[in-house]
């Protein structure tokens, strides 16, 4: 049946937590936003485990995550975890290397600090030390995107955030980000971009703390010929002191609240109101 011309295609959203620690309230909000945007548009809500973070990844947490989502009253479709997709990351990285868009970087964190790196939007901006020297094959190397070369190839790019509006791609606050880690065939940026494309995600929903990462992801989509989704970066929850709620600062894990007998659907309802600026 033909779709009415003015009706947008049903969105495909996702919640993609890393099993490095238990889910907390901020994750609950991300999952609810993604879930509700999919449901409101008659689309699909996907759940993906981002489990390539080597030693920090604890596979047993995935089951607790599923229980947390069900407790919040959400229904989802689970798509393959990142650990099953390493070959696709490696293939994309090889293609970018073959085009001269990546360069190896053997710097350690302390070397980057010692090289006088400036603070950027996400930690230090890599000062480009390895871009201008021959690789040292005796040291493990990460591979960085040559941002200047990449953008010279793509030309100006834009992306669209549902709340913040159109954004011109600007990598100057990020520098040459790592796309292939020393210990893994991909970094977060490469893996998530490929996964969202492979899963057919059309509306990338996540917290505003990952807003700047979308500049990198949009660049990768252009370089790799991937479909371009829209984004929805939601407001982050803040504690009573106005500080971002992070698991590190002792906000209770969802699993703890669930096991303590709290009503998860009620909590979800409160988070929805809070996101609308109603309620506390």
Other CB atoms within a 10 A radius of the CB of residue 225 amount to 7
Q: Which is nearer to ligand GLU, 85 or 206 (CB)?
A: 206
Asked if residues 190 and 92 have their Cβ atoms less than 8 Å apart, the reply is yes
| Dist. CA 274–CA 280, nearest whole Å | 6
Residues paired with 207 in a beta bridge? 234
Is residue 201 a contact residue for Zn ion (CB under 5 A)? no
Query: x/- binding map, residues 241-270, to ligand GLU, per CB under 6 A?
Result: ------------------------------
| Dist. CA 108–CA 92, nearest whole Å | 25
| Binder among 192, 222, 223, 267 for ligand GLU (CB under 6 A) | 192
> Looking only at residues 83 through 112 of this chain, which bind Zn ion when binding is defined by CB under 5 A?
105, 107
| Binder among 18, 129, 212, 275 for ligand GLU (CB under 6 A) | 18
| Binder among 11, 12, 16, 47 for ligand GLU (CB under 6 A) | 16
Region from 10-18, 56-64, 124-132, 170-178 binding ligand GLU, contact rule CB under 6 A: 10-18
Q: Which is nearer to ligand GLU, 117 or 190 (CB)?
A: 190
Q: Between β-strands 44-47 and 102-105, what pairing exists: parallel, antiparallel or unpaired?
A: unpaired
Query: x/- binding map, residues 201-230, to ligand GLU, per CB under 6 A?
Result: -----x---x--------------------
Asked if residues 210 and 15 have their Cβ atoms less than 8 Å apart, the reply is no
Q: Which is nearer to Zn ion, 15 or 103 (CB)?
A: 103
| Residue 17, CB-side half-sphere exposure with 13 Å CA sphere | 25
| Dist. CA 266–CA 270, nearest whole Å | 6
> Looking only at residues 39 through 98 of this chain, which bind ligand GLU when binding is defined by CB under 6 A?
50
Q: Give the number of residues in contact with ligand GLU, rule: CB under 6 A.
A: 7
279 dihedral zone (left: phi>0; alpha: psi -120 to 50; beta): left
Partner that binds at residue 189, options Zn ion, ligand GLU, none, CB closer than 5 to 8 Å by kind = none
User: Distance from first CA to last CA of the chain, Å, rounded?
Assistant: 45
**Least gap, CB of 180 to Zn ion (angstroms):** 13
Partner that binds at residue 107, options Zn ion, ligand GLU, none, CB closer than 5 to 8 Å by kind = Zn ion
φ/ψ (deg, to 5) at 12 = -110, 115
Residue whose C-alpha is closest to residue 193's, from 156, 153, 158, 227:
227
> Looking only at residues 122 through 141 of this chain, which bind Zn ion when binding is defined by CB under 5 A?
129-130
Q: Which residues form the interface with ligand GLU (CB under 6 A)?
A: 16-18, 50, 192, 206, 210
């Amino acid at each position: 049946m033909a779709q009415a011309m003015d009706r947008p295609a049903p969105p495909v959203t996702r919640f993609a937590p890393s099993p490095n620690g238990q889910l907390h309230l901020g994750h609950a909000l991300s999952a609810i936003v993604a879930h509700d945007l999919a449901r409101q548009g008659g689309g699909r809500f996907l759940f993906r485990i981002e489990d390539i973070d080597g030693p920090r990844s604890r596979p047993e947490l995935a089951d607790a995550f599923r229980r947390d989502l069900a407790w919040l009253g959400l229904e989802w479709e689970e798509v393959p975890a990142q650990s099953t997709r390493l070959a696709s990351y490696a293939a994309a990285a090889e293609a970018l290397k073959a085009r001269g868009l990546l360069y190896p970087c053997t710097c350690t964190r302390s070397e980057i600090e010692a090289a006088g790196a400036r603070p950027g939007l996400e930690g230090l901006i890599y000062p480009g030390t390895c871009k201008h020297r021959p690789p040292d094959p005796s040291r493990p190397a990460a591979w960085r995107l040559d941002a200047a070369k990449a953008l010279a190839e793509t030309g100006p790019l834009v992306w669209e955030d549902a709340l913040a509006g159109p954004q011109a791609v600007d990598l100057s606050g990020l520098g040459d980000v790592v796309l292939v880690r020393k210990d893994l065939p991909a970094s977060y940026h490469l893996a998530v971009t490929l996964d969202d494309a492979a899963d057919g995600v059309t509306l990338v929903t996540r917290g505003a703390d990952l807003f700047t990462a979308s500049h990198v992801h949009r660049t990768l989509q252009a370089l790799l010929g991937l479909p371009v989704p829209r984004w929805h970066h939601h407001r982050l929850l803040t504690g009573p002191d106005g500080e971002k709620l992070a698991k590190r600062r002792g906000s209770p894990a969802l699993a703890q609240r669930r096991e303590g007998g709290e009503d998860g659907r009620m909590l979800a309802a409160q988070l929805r109101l809070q996101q609308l600026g109603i309620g506390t």
